[in-house]
Every structure is written in structure tokens, then in C-alpha cells.
Chain A
Amino acid sequence: MQKNETHNRFLIIGEVYTDVHLDIFESPLRLGGIFHSARAFSAINCNYAIAAIAPRFLNRSIEEYGQLLNAQKAVIVGEIDGAPNVITIQDSPENGNQGYNEILRDQSEITINQQKLNQIIKEYNPTDILIYPGKYNIEDILPALENFVGYLHIDVQYGVESLKRMISLGLNFHTIILSTSSTLFKENDFSVINLVNSPLIVNAKSLLLKENRGGSTYYDITTRIWYEAPAFKTETVHSVGVGDCFNAVFLSQKRQSKQEFALKIASYIAMLYASTLSFDTFKDLISNLDFNDVKNLPAKRLSWGERQKHHIYIAGPDFPDVDTRLIEELYDNLKYHNFTPHRPVLENGIITGCETEEKQHEAYQKDIALLEKSSLLIAVILNDDPGTYVEIGYMAKSGKPVIIFDPYKLVRNLFLKKSSDYIAHSMSEIVDIVFDLLGRQDSEAFEKYDALLLASGGLDSTVLAHKLLLEGKKVMPVFLRYGQHFTETEFNTLLDVLPPKLIPNIKVINIEDIYQHSQSRMIKEPDLWVDYVTADDLYLPYRNLLFLSIASSIAQTLGIQKVYSAFINSNHAKEIDCSKEFFDELSGMLSDYGSVKIEMPFRDYSKADVIKLGISLDVPLAQTYSCQANSTTPCGVCPNCVDRLDGFESL
């Protein structure tokens, strides 16, 4: 395993619980509370010690398991009386609210042994102290921290009041840690911006916000720099203590890695922690892991704020005569994770068939509008409901993701199976899949595009775009604004004729200044009733040289290997940089002096060949725009128009 090479010594202060998973058959009893961070420190071989606050009956277990987990010291610094510190958990994977219940919580009385706490801080001399507030009086630990000069971190998931008291007493923290399900986040209206401007946070050095299955954010308050990292997915067994595991790994890694990598490594280790209840299995999984491999692994990011923008259509028999508890649970769980779910029957009304035609039509149109604005559809198959099947088909045809939630394994039909992206049988799977489908791929992890295409909305580049997509290439269309008077027509056409999948990838480059003094009729629009325009009047010096150089520069910068141009060897184009010979020499030179290769797959095609290919690919040829002389209507006489018309004519 990758050893922790720093000389950090972490001291964890907080309560020890007994975790009881009610929803997992024959689950082991586990020591909870600060032991979750202890497991992580142990698994990554980091130096640490425990200052535990616990009921007396746990003392022996704390010492025993502290030793097993290689804690350099495990000291009981506080005693809990009157309550067993047992937490029951109803929803271990945290599909929604976890349903924590702390038995006899209000009866507990806690005594902190300040002498022992002082002693362990003095003897262990930690570089970092990680505090987990709880039921104990936070003022009782402050005297021991007075002379501490290292890094102080606090997880305020359940300790906002403690944080407030500590801040009011002048304590400054290096890291304030919370998650999106914490009270502090709620008090700030679930807004990251409100949070960083909160008086509780401003005096800290940094803020760590864990966003559950959507990733994490770290804000360096001193430099005002945000770092974020994606989350890794797994078959989530439990989410209990996963955040504490994350804390330990992140804090131990952040001084030896870049912040975003520390977040990512913490995310990976926390994912492994969530995939098992066994410490031995967890440790085994990490033992041979090279953290450098993790840095480049792809994962998905879906921030808390982004999730709200995703409308999710819940299709299903959401009717009064059906047991809809699963639909309700799904709705609540999606809300819990800050998505915007919809139950169309509740929102748009139930139609029994007895309503007026107008009312039925209105409800139908509202449901269609809801489908249109939704990012994905989850169909809950509770019975044979035809409405649900139609909604699945509608969404599948629109190209948006469809998840089938089939709790009773009723789905047999081929069309149902093939129209969906996923069929899930449990709530946990559903939540995982939603994050996976809507999350953004971690962009640093791999080369995102393998083809850069110079795209103008013209016939040739549009056919090429469709061809490349069909070949499975990841295409970045680049549109150049070089001052052409038909810019808006071209760009709007581009949006209409490109394959919809490529629209989000379009990159617009503005080089308008270069030709601002040109007299070319591509810059200054002629009045075709008055002005006589020849091919020479359309010439722009070195236009194609410029375009290909720009495209190659972008491609090499982004690690894209190939630049595609839809150049064809026209008989009508007269520009000197529009000949086959010119392109041969230029592409040779660009690849000789850089890593980018110029591809012109249509260089030996005629216009008719391209049109035939376009027809076979179902390209909307009629909507393309290629005219160089008129900004709104093809002139029919410029070289591009002539080529285009001749091509159509020759079919």
C-alpha cells in the first residue's frame, strides 16, 4: 500500500457509539462515532490517537479495538451515564433520510475528564486535532485546547451549537467540515454561497462540504479558491460513518497532494468504506492500492446546487386505488438529495375518462410539457399500467434516460427492457443510477474528445459531423466568428442541423478583428440587386490557413488528436488556400510540427458524393446553409451555392 509519508499525528476527540443496522440482516454490531475515522486512519497507515467519550461498558472494547486499529493511543477522556450510546439505523444506504435513533439520548449525562484530555494532548503532541461535537458540553474540552498550536478541525454535522459556542469563545479552526444533510447547511438555506459568507465560517481557514453521492467541495477561505471532486460509485451497503472516513483521508492527504486530488482519494476510500461493513475487507481493498491510479480514474460530479435543476418525471400508477408507498418513498428520497421530482398525477390531476375533452386534453398537454422539461424518467412498475408504458416510450424516443424501477420483477416485455437505460430492483440502485446518469464525467480524468470539427452549418461540415458521430467519435464542433456578415444565420443553422448530441460540445471562437478592414463580400454584405459579385470579391486572405491553424492549436491544447475539415476539391472555389495541393502541404506541416493530424475525408469527393452520403445518414441537408454572399437567403450564384445546387441537381 501507499504509505502515509507525512509526520502528521491526528488526535480524534468525540463520542463512541454502538451502531445497530436494523435494515441489514445479521449485520455485525460496530463501534461507531469516532471509530469510523479511526478505521480510515488505520487503513491508510496514518498516525493517530483516540480521545474517547463513551459509556463505561465500552471502555474495554475501545482499548481492545483501538489496539487492533493501530491507534497509537486510545484514552477514555469522558464518561456517559444514563444512556447506552446506541444508535439504530433504519436506512443504512441513505437512499433518503437514514432514520437514526439514539436510544435514551435525553437521559445521558456526560463527564469530561479534563486531566486525561490534557495529558493525551501533551503526551501525544498531535499535529492535528479532529473534533466531533456531540452531547457533551463543548466548553469542557476547551481548556485542554488553549495551548494547542497545531491544526484544529471540527466536523459540525451534528454540532452547530457547539461550533457557535466555540467561535464565540474565540477559537479558530483550520477546517470546518459539514455535509449537505447538516443543520448548518440547512440554516444557510442549502446555499454554498450563504455558507461561506456565514459569520461562523469567515474566521476559519477552510471549509469542507461533503455532498453525499455527488462529490465534495473544499473552499480555501484565505485564497478564496474552490476545489471540487467527483464521487465514486459503488454498490452502497451503508452510508454510516462514510463522511467520517472521508474526513480522515482528506485531512491526512491534503498536505501531500493537491487539494482536488486529496478530495478524490478521500472519495475513493470512502466509497470502499460504504461497500462493506467489514473492516478487514475494507483494509484489504486499500492495502495494494496506488493512490496515483485513483487520481486519474473517472468519476461523476453532481453538486448539490446542480441537482435542483434536474426535473425527474416519476411515471407510475399513482392512483388512489393503488398502494403508492414506493412512489412516495422515491419522491421523498429524490427530494432529500435535492433533485426536483414530479408526480404528474398529483400535479396535473387524475383523469378518469369522465372529464370534458378539453380538460382531458389540458391534463395530457401538461404531462407532455413535464416530460419535455424533465432530465430523466423513472417508471415505477407496480402493475400493468398503459399510461406508464406510453410515458416510457415517449421519453425513450426523445433520447433522454429512462430508469425502470421494478420492485416486484414484473418486467418481461422486450420493448420495456430495450426502451430503458436501466432496470433497478431496489431503492438504493435507483438513487445510485440517478447520480450516475445525471452526473458530469470528471473532465480531468481522460481525453474528452477525439475529433475537432470545423463546423459552419454548411452542407459538407454537417454531413461530416453526422458521419463522425455515427463512427462513435467524440466530436467537438468549433464555430469561428471571423466577421462574416452571415454569422448569425450560420450559427443558428448549426444549432438546427448538427446532431443534437453534439450541440453541448460546440466551441465558439471569436476572431472578428482579423478581417475587420477587409473589403471581401463575406465581410461586407453586398446588395445582390445592385452589386456585381465575383469569386474574387469573396476572397479572404489565408482564411483556411488561419482556420486550420486555430483548430490545430485548440486541438493540441486539449489533447485532441485529429482536426476534421469537410473540404472538398471544388471546381468553383478560387481561393489560393482552397486547393488540394495547399491542404496536402499544410496538413503535412502541421503534423510535422505538432501532434495534431488534419483529416479531410471528403477531399476526393464531389459535392454529389457528399449529398448522397448525407441522404444515407438522414442528415437534414435542406436545412444547411452554405451561402457566402447573402446573410439570410442563399444567393444561388456564389461558389458555395453553385456547388450545392449542382450537387442536388446531379442526383
Chain B
Amino acid sequence: MGSSGVGRFGDYQGGTDPTKDLCRMERKNVGLEEVGRLDYFNVHGTVPAIMEPVVLNNQLKNGRLVVLSETTGEEIGFLPSRYSNLLACMRKGFNYRGHVVYSVSKPIPKVDVDLNAEE
């Protein structure tokens, strides 16, 4: 009967990483913040439609990560603070694109997006 085991310390230089890569993970149903006060809503008086393509802006706005409409370039909403880790991923070279999966204008403007990583 044989045995198996871990051969070496393994978190350096090509070692295995069994965890899902932080940057490549799809972010689903991300509820954007402050939709009612950003450009898209202010210009159009409404929220972007479902399936509208979106992109995470590489530039921060007032220190925050902001999602833009890929069609108009206008700011739709901020990423909630729990996605602040994406800053490190963007600086590493990842971009994040996706689309609107849910949106309503009333009673409070609300937009949810899915975001996928692109290297």
C-alpha cells in the first residue's frame, strides 16, 4: 500500500494555489451604490437597461471604484467597499467588463451588474 503526500513547501515560485484566483473570480449581482447621484441617472433621468454593457473604470472617482456604461461612458454607480480588493487586481493588469443584470428607477434608483475579469 502506498502513500501520498505534499513534497515541498509550496507557496513560492509556481507552487500550487488551490484557491480561486481573487482577480479572475466573476462578481455576480453587484449592487452599485449612489446610482441616483451619478452621471448616468442625472443625465438620462433613468437607470441603464438590463444587458447594458458596463466597465469598471481604471480611474478612481473621489477615491472610489466606479462602474461606467460602456455605451455612453457615463458613471452609473460605485462598487461597494467590499469589492475594494479589485483595485489591486486592476493595478495588476486586469480589466472588468460585464452587463447590467437588474435595474429599476423607482422608488430608489438601483442597478446590479455582473463583472468578469479580462487580462
| Residues of chain A at the chain B interface (Cβ within 8 Å) | 18, 24-31, 61, 65, 68-69, 232-235, 237, 268, 271-272, 275-281, 284-290, 293-300, 432, 436, 441-442, 445-447, 450, 469-474
Contact = CB atoms under 8 A, between A and B. Distances in A.
B22 A278 contact: no
Given A297-B64, A297-B81, A472-B35, 15 more contacts: A24-B18, A24-B19, A28-B17, A68-B12, A68-B13, A232-B81, A234-B22, A272-B88, A279-B12, A280-B15, A289-B87, A298-B81, A445-B64, A472-B37, A474-B37
Interface in B16-44: 16-23, 25, 34-37, 41
A293 B87 CA distance: 9
B18 A277 contact: yes
A18 B31 CA distance: 40
Contacts, number: 147
A355 B99 CA distance: 54
Given A280-B12, A286-B88, A472-B109, A233 B82 contact: yes
Contact of B9 (A30, A447, A450): A30
Interface string B41-56: 1000000000000000
B72 interface: no
B37 A287 contact: no
Contact of A278 (B15, B37, B41, B65): B15
Contacts of A234: 22, 82, 85
A272 B92 contact: no
Contacts of A68: 12-13
B41 A472 contact: yes
Which 4 pairs show the lowest CB-CB distances between chains A and B? Answer: A472-B36, A296-B63, A28-B10, A233-B82
Contacts of B8: 29
Contact of B92 (A235, A288, A296, A450): A288
Contact of B22 (A26, A275, A442, A472): A275
A51 B40 CA distance: 56
A29 B18 CA distance: 11
A235 B18 CA distance: 14
A233 B19 CA distance: 17
Contacts of B16: 26, 28
B23 to A, nearest CB: 8
B89 interface: yes
A285 B92 contact: yes
A442 to B, nearest CB: 7
B87 A275 contact: no
A27 B18 CA distance: 6
B82 A473 contact: no
Interface centre among A31, A298, A473 (most CB of B within 10 A): A298
Nearest to B36: A472
Nearest to A233: B82
Given A278-B17, A288-B91, A29 B6 contact: yes
A300 B83 CA distance: 12
5 contacts: A65-B9, A271-B84, A277-B17, A280-B12, A441-B81
